[in-house]
Amino acid sequence: SQQGEEDPQALSIQEGENATMNCSYKTSINNLQWYRQNSGRGLVHLILIRSNEREKHSGRLRVTLDTSKKSSSLLITASRAADTASYFCATDVTGRRALTFGSGTRLQVQP
Amino acid sequence: DSGVTQTPKHLITATGQRVTLRCSPRSGDLSVYWYQQSLDQGLQFLIQYYNGEERAKGNILERFSAQQFPDLHSELNLSSLELGDSALYFCASSVGLQGELFFGEGSRLTVL
């Protein structure tokens, strides 16, 4: 089964609105990362948050991590049509050597 | 452009055949990862190499094999292909054993 599970599976919003995606995971992690994938393209790294961090910002992105609840959220503020993509969380699990990806959230931003 | 190069971009072949996918990592990256992305299974980790040595294995079938060469490029060999092997195969690289991954654009394999 997947280590990380994103919620919702799909999200449709209007340009200018904020988009929030959540990720839950099952075991202890070293860090959690968010990636973006445009349809049929390679994944692009967005942000990495370490297990001892609670919040991180990068431009219009805000990521939070709650290790007690084993969950993370990605907030995209003031969304644009160009933000339309799938977003994946990936966990760097203690004792494992490769990132484990969730099933992703498909975000559609309507112009 | 991530700096990771994958070839071929598209490949159509028949069941029972064998194909080789190639990956050149970013300059300076020692780790190479292979992932398979299909509609029903999501992004599945197959195998990781670090500086020429296998470091981790995921859900890689026995029909699949990989290697990393001294120049750090990697090849993923898929044999006795089945319809279910149709997927996007991604290569990713990183500087070390952990951290941010840089993905190539993928090789789309269609098995008919």
Chain A: give the shortest CA distance to residue B46, in Å.
9
**B101·A92 Cβ contact <8 A:** no
B99 Cβ neighbours under 8 A, 6+ residues apart: A48
Measured in whole angstroms, how far is the alpha carbon of residue A68 from the centre of its chain?
18
Q: Taking Cα atoms as reference points, which of A99, A77, A73 lies closest to residue A13?
A: A77
Q: Which residues of chain A have pLDDT under 50?
A: 1-2
Q: Is B7 on the interface with A (CB under 8 A)?
A: no
The reply to whether residue A98 touches residue B102, judged by beta carbons under 8 angstroms, is no
Asked whether the beta carbons of residue A30 and residue B98 sit closer than 8 angstroms, the reply is yes
Mutate to test the interface with A, among B100, B109, B110 (most CBs of A within 10 A): B100
- Taking 50 as the pLDDT cut, the residues of chain B under it are none
Give the closest residue to A50 by CA, choosing from A39, A60, A69, A63. A63
Pairing of strands A5-7, A10-14: unpaired
pLDDT confidence of residue B59:
85
